[in-house]
Amino acid sequence: MFDKKMLPLMGAACALVLAVVQPAAAQTAPPFGGATSSAPGSATDPNPTSVTRDSSGSRMNRNTAEGRRQERANSQRERQAAAAAAATPEQIRAEAQAQATAAGLTCQVTEAVNPGVTAEQIKIYEAACASGPGYILIASTPPQNFDCLELAGTAYTARLRDPAADVGQQCVLPANQNGLAVIGGWAREAGVACTVDEAVAIGKSSENNIVYEVGCTGVDGYWLEKVATGWKLQDCLQIVSVGGTCRFTTAQEQADGFEPKLAGTDAAACDVAQVRLMGSNPNGRFYEAKCAAEGEGYIARVSTAGVTEQIYPCATAQRIGNGCTLTPAPAAAPAPTE
């Protein structure tokens, strides 16, 4: 019935967000990402960042070979740091642009900083792009790049498990705190008509595409995946029906978003309290809507165009799928007395 390729993302890896991207050190809303790559500077990064300098040569015995070697290494690091400090913003932006181009990114760098070097003294850049997400760039061979949305999503997921987690290098340029705007724009491209109020990269699909979750104001949210043919969109009712979780959508938002589909039908008076997606066939999707009124509920068949074409009261719909499960079955009539 539904595409279950997303299932591996559900569970622990099911959250790479954004209620709006905030700086990594002080996020007050869900970030964006579901990164599967190790953030530079994290415990698993093969090139851990080093943005501080050890000038501990004075603590060593300078007469030893080891002391002299360490002193030379410290001096080299200090010279490199001084050279980096002397670079102008324009030079840093040009260097970051060269790295982005070498990495094959379609990024017109508008701003860049050089936050430090790796343990191997390889320069690190953070670049903001004219459109889309920014990147952390490592000037290695071949060049490495880390999507800011993925990094923020990874940090968000890690901090859900452990608020004190080491999340490694994060994007801090104000221009890169644009996750909600970027992912919200992609959602609109994919056909989402709601007001997107939260968004996040939650992981990768089996095709290695980044998957994003978006939350909508007052209605159902979505999972969003960029595929070769465009955008693949799955609403959260569909995600929940196959065992997934949407972090930014409540059951009430789903009920409120579904209720307009009953307008003009025999179930128009139903104040929808809860809704679930039962399944689909070539004729469309089947939903169960539980009404606020005690014991009242319906199954609605909605066409692929989103039009409700048939309504079945739960009391007589036991043969449709597994029948209604949200709406309690009517109590059996008492046996007649003689």
Residue 70 pLDDT class (50, 70, 90 cuts): confident
pLDDT above 50 for 137 = yes
Amino acid 71: pLDDT: 74
| Rounded distance between C-alpha atoms, residue 330 and residue 141, angstroms | 69
Residue 292 in contact with residue 311, Cβ under 8 Å? no
Mean pLDDT, the chain, integer: 82
CB atoms within 10 A of CB 56: 10
How many residues in total does the chain contain? 338
Closest C-alpha to 325, from 282, 274, 285:
274
CA 144, 24, 138 angle in degrees (round to 5)?
Answer: 15
- Burial class of residue 24, CB neighbours in 10 A (0-12, 13-18, 19+): buried
Residue 322's pLDDT is what?
85
Residue 223 pLDDT:
97
Please write the tens of the pLDDT for every residue from 146-163.
999 999 999 988 998 899
Residue 53 has pLDDT above 60, yes or no: no
Residue 106 has what DSSP assignment? -
**Residue among 232, 195, 228 at smallest CA distance from 212:** 232
pLDDT (mean) for 286-307? 96
This prediction's pTM: 0.72
Given a cut of 80, whether residue 20 has pLDDT beyond it is no
Please write down the long-range contacts of 287-295, taking CB distance under 8 Å and 24 or more positions apart: 287/237, 287/258, 287/261, 288/314, 288/324, 288/325, 288/326, 288/327, 289/255, 289/258, 289/259, 289/262, 289/326, 290/324, 290/326, 290/327, 291/267, 291/327, 295/327, 295/328, 295/330
304: Cβ contacts below 8 Å, ≥ 6 apart: 284, 285
What is the tens place of the pLDDT at every residue in 234-255? 999 999 999 999 999 999 999 9
Note the maximum CA span of the chain.
Answer: 113
Q: Specify the pLDDT at position 40.
A: 57
Q: 262: closest CA among 253, 271, 249?
A: 271
Cβ-contact 147, 137 below 8 angstroms: no
Q: How confident is the model at residue 335 (pLDDT cuts 50, 70, 90)?
A: low
Mean pLDDT of 189-203: 95
pLDDT at 55 over 50: no
Chain segment 34-50, per-residue pLDDT in tens: 333 445 555 445 444 43
Contact criterion met (CB below 8 Å) for 258 and 275 = yes
Is the pLDDT confidence value at 228 over 80? yes
pLDDT of residue 217: 97
Cα gap 171→294, rounded to integer Å: 52
Q: Which candidate, 235, 193, 190, places its Cα nearest to that of 213?
A: 235
